[in-house]
Every structure is written in structure tokens, then in C-alpha cells.
Structure 1
Amino acid sequence: MAKAKQTLYNILKGKFLVDESASKNWYMLVFLAGLALVMIASSHAIDKKVQDIAILNKEMRERRDVFIATRSDLMKLKMESAIIKKLEEQGLFIPDNPPHKIVVKEK
């Protein structure tokens, strides 16, 4: 128990960083610090991509709404009653008599 207690005190005091085999420990610490930096950078990149996806989804929903509204307006304009109304504003009317087909016979 005393040996484990002494080892814990040595770790907390940092003696493993200044003894004879400290170079191995420093290499490991530098490696772990590098991994931590890579992990932090990766986390930030993922957060940015998630935010970009949220913005693009919102923009897509807005554009879909505009598309649906425009398609609805177009369908209303293509209705026969809307076309007749527009033509009457310009002075054109639908004839009461339907048109007759002209047939040309060749001799």
C-alpha cells in the first residue's frame, strides 16, 4: 500500500517528467497533446458542417415554399376562366358559334 501511495505522490509531483527515462514520457505527452488538438479541430469542423447543413435545410424549405406558391399561381393562370377574363380585358371574346372546319378537296 505504501508503494502505491508513493507512486501516486510521484505522479502528482511530476517526478516522472524529470527522472532519467523522462524522454519517453515527454514523447508520449507530446503525442497525446497532438491527438487532443486533432480531436478538438475535428470537433470544430463537424460543428461547422452541422450548422451549414441546418442553414441549407432552412433555405431548401423556403425555396420549396416559393416553388409551391408559384406553381399554385401558375395553375390559377392556366385555368380557362382566367384566360377568358384576360382576353376580355384586351377586347377579345369567345364567339357564340363554334368555328366550322374548312375542307379543301383536291381535283
Structure 2
Amino acid sequence: MAKNKKSNINFKDILKGKFLVDDGSLQNWRFVMYLVFLAFISISSSHWVDKKVVKINKLDEDVSNLKAQFTDAHRLLMKMQLEPEIMKKSEAIGIKLTDEQPYVLIKKVYDQEP
């Protein structure tokens, strides 16, 4: 008949690692491997989240740069649509504003009787 030993493990035995070499240490090794696996998962997920945060920050910076470019392009477009700017561009290519009023052609439509 096997004798049941009570496990009297103290802090000194834990520091020496006796719980890993004594009888029944297979369960302890399984638990240690489980803890190592959990630590690996935790560290890898932390690195993954850090990469995502860096990518999000870069994309936010790109968006703000594109917004600034859009605002600048919109300002230039509004300036180009003003009448003095159009007059300058048209005079540069030889188109001038006339002093004469344009003619209006009116076509009268007569009802035709059958």
C-alpha cells in the first residue's frame, strides 16, 4: 500500500524548483507550460495591438494631410472662378469684353390651320 505524502511545499522549495522534479511533477509541468502559453498569447496580442495603433495613427495623419490639400485646392478653385481672374486669363489668350450689346434673335411661330 502506497503512503500518501502531504505536500509540505514552502517558499524555499519553490525557489529551488523542487516542485518540478519531485514525484507527480508532470501536473506541475503541464501547469507551467499552460502559463507560458498564456504569456505568449498575451505578449503577441499586445504587439499586434501596438502595430494596429501605429497604423491607425499614420492613417489619421494621412487623412489630415489630405484634408489640408483639399482645402487648399478648393480655395484656389474659388479664386479662379472669380470674374477678375477669368478676365485676366481670357485677355492672356486674346479674348476681350465687348462694349456692344449682343443681338437677340426671336423666332415667331405661327399657328398653321389645317
How many residues of Structure 1 are paired with residues of Structure 2 in the alignment?
103
Higher helix share: 1
Q: 1:21 maps to what in 2? A: 24
TM-score, scaled to structure 1: 0.88
Return 5+ residue gaps in structure 1 as ranges: none
Q: 1:63 offset after TM fit, Å? A: 1.0
Pick aligned residue for 2:64 from 61, 64, 69 = 61
RMSD, aligned CA: 1.6
Q: Which amino acid aligns with 2:46?
A: S
Q: Which structure's CA Rg is the greater one? A: 2
| Residues 1:95 and 1:74: Cα distance change in structure 2 (over 3 Å) | same
Return 5+ residue gaps in structure 2 as ranges: 1-7
Q: Which amino acid aligns with 1:24?
A: Q
Post-superposition Cα deviations, 1:67-99, rounded to whole Å, max 9, x if no partner, equal 111111111111111111111111111122332
| Residues 1:104 and 1:6: Cα distance change in structure 2 (over 3 Å) | closer
Distance in 1 separating the partners of 2:17 and 2:90: 92
Percent identity of equivalent pairs: 36
Distance in 2 separating the partners of 1:46 and 1:96: 70
